Chains A and B, each alone.
Chain A
Amino acid sequence: MVLPGDGLIQLTPEGLYCPAADAWIDPWRPVSRALITHGHADHARPGCGEYWAVASGEGVLRQRLGAGIALTGVGYGQERRLGGALVSFHSAGHVLGSAQIRISAGGETWLVSGDYKRDADPSCAPFEPVTADVLITEATFGLPIYRWRPGRQVAAEILTWWREAPQRPSLLFAYAFGKAQRLLAELAALGVEEEVLLHGAVQTLMAPYRSEGVVLPPTRPLSELPRNASLAGRLVIAPPSAHRSAWMKRFVNPQTAFVSGWMAVRGARRRRGFERGFALSDHADWDGLLRSVRDCGARQVYVTHGNSDGLARYLREEQGLAAEPLGRAFEGQRGEEGELVAAVATAVTSPVAAS
């Protein structure tokens, strides 16, 4: 399925394109003008002429795409004119500075959801319901088996897991941008005041979060600790790519856990080889997806990422909505959870060798 050729937004080899604004949304290849929903590597790619994104996400974007990129920061809800179109960014609740992008022209309004979630997250602004005529939504976790418990509750379990192993280092694997900071913010909200150690890939993202005023416990790069310092009873957060890498050699008898929505399923937990899996996601669960489609009130829905076929069919057959998958073009573009790609990219480009 492709978008109609005469629509406000079209699908080109570079990705979603709005001719009226002469801009691409989260393009896959370098283009002249890119509107970015958020900084994960499968959404924000280098090499574009100019970037438009939410101002609170600017720090992360400059760090990842280069300090010198031509970036226009926009506040949530501000309407900007681009060519013949009105463009606004609305909070998606996914990670710091994440947005749904709304574009109006010729009496029609489209909304590109980007990645989003409906659950509370102390590290970013909450999701804002936005109405539109046409919605392009993600469906990473588009199956009813996915139903999230509150992040605070999962964080409390993680805290218990950490506290119950005072003799061992507790190695928590989480996507470096977003999930790691959300966990830290939840731990702070649970009263954690002691220092948490970070892998280099996570460390590089702390400054943008702190400068945006997110309340976090004290953190320190693991690499700053003396080589022989005991890590027993310490919590260390690292990207999943560090699991079973040489980086893990310095830990004596660590306990390991992976925090991801995929961990809701037993087979996935067993396959990844972590001792524990905590199901926590920065994407909407099944109910969250259905609710968001409803809230948007769109007459036409297009579905990308994950179970796009399934969600579109459900909306069509069970809810009587005009819905189509934008499937395969997007499937090839995504990483494990989007974030996993981001985590790996960061691990490669940041100075983590020392940690």
Chain B
Amino acid sequence: MQAFADLIQQLERSPGTKDRVAALAAHVQSVDGADGAWALALLLGKRRRRLITGRRLRQICLERSGLPEWLFDSCHAQVGDSAETIALLLPQLALPPAAPLELPLAEWMESRLPALAALEAEAQAQAVLMIWAALPDGQCFLFNKLLTGGFRVGVAAGLVIRALAQVSGLEEAELAHRLMGGFEPSPEAMQALLAPLEAGVAAPISRPYPFCLASPLETERLEATDPAGWQLEWKWDGIRAQLIRRNGQTFLWSRGEELINASFPELDRMAEGLPPGTVLDGELTVWPAEASQPAGFGPLQRRLGRQKPGAALLRECPAAFVAYDLLEQGGQDLRPEPLSQRRAALEDLLQGLPEAVSSPAAGLLRLSPVLPLGSWEELEALRQQARSVGAEGLMLKALDSAYGVGRRRGLWWKHKLEPMELDAVLLYAQAGSGRRANLYTDYTFGLWDGEGRLVTFAKAYSGLDDSEIAELDRWIRRHTTERFGPVRAVEPLQVFSLGFEGLQRSSRHRSGLAVRFPRILRWRRDRTPESADSLTSALALLEDPAVQR
């Protein structure tokens, strides 16, 4: 495991892309297939299984060290990560010296860690303590991370793929594709992943294509081009998905590469009517057959993560797949074809389908309509209509573009509506984690209720720049009125404009409202807390037909 620990350290210390890719490539080449496969799975975040809870590790650490729990919590607030907190506290455990323990990464992952997880209370504590005592400094943190399943390295998948391309001589796009739909860490999988094209290793039929992603619109760049070169669509407010029909089987993949067939049985059935060798790219929505627009994100959320939904839920929140691209037809990869041709093929395909699949009455498979656009001047008016059709903005896709892998700036643009906005007062702060450890960066905001009290309304993490974060952190420390573990209550003095995508009534929230994607737009130093918005103004947004879908 030392080689992997060294790699992680090297990645942390090298700011340059080139150095990081070189370190990754060197690692894959220097370790054996089993360790390489595990390194890859961990770096790509494909293995995050929790074997022991952070709480249990903390308990073992506390019992041995005799440190009070509140002190551990203070340490955790400073470090932002329990695995690292424990690693830093190990000297306080006064563990007896032990012979150094060095095992291959694969052995840790495949046998040692699972065996440790299977042990009972005291035996487990003793085993963990023995390993802590025997591991070299740098490995304790890694060990804790792997055990608690929270291992994440700040390295983009793109860099890992670039390194694999260097090692194998394969195209990055080919590797990205081969990595889709899960990677089982084994020497065989590693070999298949890096096998030359000529070797003709058969792809699993479930494998999805890497998603082509859009970038936020750069208006100037867009307007320098001819509107006739673009396909304009609504940006649907659902989740991105890929629907695969191959060899008589259906695979519905989410953008996060999870198979979600079981959650959407009606779509699973619908796909049986698709011709063999079909892959559709589209948006998963809740959209009743008779409705003219989707039901919004709230109902969709009720369906997500719910395996085998009941009949009532299926009736109340019926799903629809809104198709906007055809990636495979008759088993042939259409991605290199220009969008104009793929679109034509998609429209033909849907027209030729049996009624039960694509008829408006069934409503299960819908075609994302192409919007007419004569000139760039019309764009803004169209965008403003997005909410009225239940969309969250516009998508612009270059008609002559192939279906790319990942985010290729300039081929697909997203042009979202301005988010809704309210001014709220900072009430609580909590230290962040990772890069933001020991900085107060997780904020809770309140709005005024009818009786002159501030009611918590939303939490937001992002939106301030580093210097604002630092300044606010200092302010929070000096204006703390109370502490609840890692959370500080502050004097209600600072006002922030919060943006959010959606608003819903909710009985689970004190304010009676649930917000979607809240974020900080601006620090309103010009505003006094009294001038912040009230729950009434939030409710007005909720009632506003122009705002709600």
Contacts and interface: CB of A to CB of B under 8 A. Distances in A.
Interface of A: 143-147, 264-271, 273, 275-276, 286, 307, 309-310, 313-314, 317-318, 328, 331-332
8 contacts: A145-B85, A146-B88, A265-B88, A267-B434, A271-B435, A307-B74, A314-B68, A317-B68
A318 B68 contact: yes
A331 B475 CA distance: 11
B61 to A, nearest CB: 11
Contacts of B15: 273, 275
Contacts of B12: 266, 269-270
Contacts of A317: 68
B438 A267 contact: yes
B546 to A, nearest CB: 41
Contacts of B257: none
Nearest to B91: A147
Contact of A328 (B78, B89, B435, B478): B478
A273 B15 CA distance: 8
Nearest to A147: B91
Interface in B414-469: 433-439
A276 B438 contact: no
Nearest to A253: B16
B163 interface: no
Contacts of B70: 313
Contact of A268 (B67, B438, B480, B483): B438
Q: Lowest 7 A-B CB distances belong to which pairs?
A: A267-B437, A145-B88, A145-B75, A332-B478, A271-B435, A270-B435, A310-B74
B13 interface: yes
A309 B480 CA distance: 13
Contact of B79 (A145, A313, A331): A145
Contacts of A318: 68
Contact of B436 (A271, A307, A309): A271
Contact of A331 (B65, B435, B439, B478): B478
Contacts of A269: 12
B184 interface: no
- Interface class of chain A by DSSP: helix
Contacts of B65: 144
Interface string B49-83: 00000000000000001011011001100111100
Contacts of A264: 88
B84 A266 contact: yes
B89 A267 contact: no
A267 B79 contact: yes
Nearest to B84: A266
Contacts of A309: 483
B84 A144 contact: no
A264 B78 CA distance: 11
Nearest to A146: B88
Contacts of B67: 144
Contact of A143 (B68, B78, B141): B78
B407 interface: no
A328 B474 CA distance: 12
A271 B439 contact: yes
A267 B436 contact: yes
A147 B92 CA distance: 9
- Interface class of chain B by DSSP: helix
Contact of B78 (A265, A270, A332): A265
- Which of A267, A313, A332 lies at the interface centre, i.e. has the most chain B CB atoms within 10 A of its CB? A267
A265 B85 CA distance: 9
A314 B477 CA distance: 20
Contact of B437 (A146, A265, A275, A286): A265
Given A265-B78, A270-B154, 19 more contacts: A145-B78, A145-B85, A145-B88, A147-B91, A265-B79, A265-B88, A267-B84, A267-B433, A267-B436, A270-B12, A270-B434, A271-B437, A271-B439, A275-B14, A309-B483, A310-B74, A328-B478, A331-B477, A332-B478
A266 B478 contact: no
B84 A265 contact: yes
Given A310-B71, A313-B70, A331-B477, A268 B14 contact: no
A309 B483 CA distance: 11
Contacts of A273: 15
Nearest to B78: A143
- Which of A266, A313, A314, A317 lies at the interface centre, i.e. has the most chain B CB atoms within 10 A of its CB? A266
B250 to A, nearest CB: 43
Given A267-B80, A267-B438, A275 B71 contact: no
Interface in B283-338: none
Nearest to A317: B68
A269 B88 CA distance: 14
A216 B95 CA distance: 38
A328 B476 CA distance: 11
B536 to A, nearest CB: 36
A332 B474 CA distance: 8
A307 B80 CA distance: 16
A290 to B, nearest CB: 11
A332 B479 CA distance: 9
A145 B65 CA distance: 12
Nearest to B431: A267
A266 B9 CA distance: 10
A309 B75 CA distance: 13
Contacts of B13: 275-276
Given A145-B89, A313-B70, A317-B68, A267 B81 contact: yes
Contacts of A265: 78-79, 84, 88, 437-438
Interface string B1-40: 0000000000011110000000000000000000000000
A328 B479 CA distance: 9
A154 to B, nearest CB: 13
Contacts of A313: 70-71
A351 B10 CA distance: 37
A144 B434 contact: no
Contacts of B68: 314, 317-318
A153 to B, nearest CB: 12
A203 to B, nearest CB: 28
A317 B69 CA distance: 12
B75 A144 contact: yes
Nearest to A141: B78
- Which of A144, A145, A331 lies at the interface centre, i.e. has the most chain B CB atoms within 10 A of its CB? A145
Contacts of B477: 331
Contacts of A286: 92
